[in-house]
Amino acid sequence: MPDHAAKTPTYAEFFCGGGMVRAALQDRWECVLANDIDAMKCKVYAQNWGQAALHQGDIAVLTDDLLTRQIDMYWASSPCQDFSLAGTGRGLGGARSGVFTHWADKIATAIKAGFAPRIIAFENVVGLVSRNGGADMNTVLATFVRLGYKVGALEIDARRFLPQSRPRLFVVCVREDIDISGLTVPKPSHVFHGKKLQKFLASASRPVRSNWVWWKLGDAPADEQALERVLERRATMPWFSAADTDRLLTLMSPPSLERLRVARKAGRTVVGTIYKRGRPDADGNVRQRAELRTDGIAGCLRTPAGGSSRQILMFIKGNQTKARLVSSREVARLMGLPDSYKMPDTYNNAYRVAGDGVAVPVVRYLDEVLFAPLLERQSLGAVA
């Protein structure tokens, strides 16, 4: 009989933010530890999930007694700015993304005390795969290998689950003594076994290649999302003035203007999204551009700290054009959070909680296709 079948599985979430992993796992898992250094995010977490498992503060100074107990899964959504194309790009050496080392040290502490988690899951931007020529990704995976884990990874874009383009890397590791027969495939064969991962693995270190697994996955949801379904029926954000809306049009590049032209001829209201970004012109000078997309998918929610602007909604019906910012409730819906989820009172904080979070239905999918099957498996020693 599987040794985990009789009890509710437990997990610890690090860099927990507003608790979106908890929103995904709450029906089947018990959170026994949640940690974040950000006071505002911890307040939001407590408002939604209570304070029983929450420990605010620097991960580096978490006391060992919090970790020296049996916890089935360690999850981390560590700061991504140093791996992101929209951020500073310093990789593991960056002050924020470098906290991965502290997290790995905490796992090592638990293992040394005899409490190795069955599963380790790590979420970050896809940029980690290629940052510093793949060296940072190799360091992350080699760390898990040295700790005694088989390693695998997935490239998952939340747009298959939500009307938001949000490509993310999900590293899923399992303790090397766990029987994973039937849960892997011999070669990449799924849409989430991305090209970037395949390229990385070809040049990864021998320990990483030797302990790599391609996880066997269920069918990916169809890419058929609609932005309109997350919009508020009555806008709570003020509309831009006509002058500000016209200025957005003047900032559009020819491709965005062409999308605008097509939308105006659609015979219905088309809802598009806009990010303002700096782009080089023909002379190499950086100019601010308003980049419009009208494919029914929002751009990736990001925080200002990541080097990006706030996202704008544009409503296009014939020659009539209106614009406003995405609301706090709408950004929550774009992350898969229910309307019962309590967002921060201020807009910037709400946007930061969402922009730094993880898409709820993606975590739920991983639980269904990977975490649950892994929890049912015995250790190889028990099988023998």
**Which residues are designated catalytic?**
80
Residues 26, 367: contact at Cβ < 8 Å? no
The single residue listed with the structure tokens 């922009």 is: 355
The single residue listed with the structure tokens 């989430």 is: 192
DSSP 89: -
Using only C-alpha atoms, the chain has a radius of gyration, in whole angstroms, of: 22
In 252-381, where do the E strands start and end? 270-280, 286-293, 312-317, 320-325
CA-CA distance, 350 to 333, in Å (whole number)?
A: 12
Residues 10, 71: contact at Cβ < 8 Å? yes
Kindly state the helix (H) or strand (E) to which residue 150 belongs, with its residue range. Answer: strand 149-157
Q: What are phi and psi of 277, to 5 degrees?
A: -135, 155
Contacts of 354 (CB under 8 A, 6+ apart): 18, 301, 331, 332, 334, 335, 343
Q: Helices 347-355 and 39-49 meet at what angle, rounded to 10?
A: 80
Q: What does the DSSP assignment read for 192-246?
A: TS-HHHHHHHHTS-HHHHHTB-EE---PPPPS---GGGGS-SS--SPPPPHHHHH
Residues 375, 72: contact at Cβ < 8 Å? yes
Closest CA relative to residue 351, chosen from 328, 371, 372, 377: 328
Chain center to CA of 101? 19
DSSP 298: B
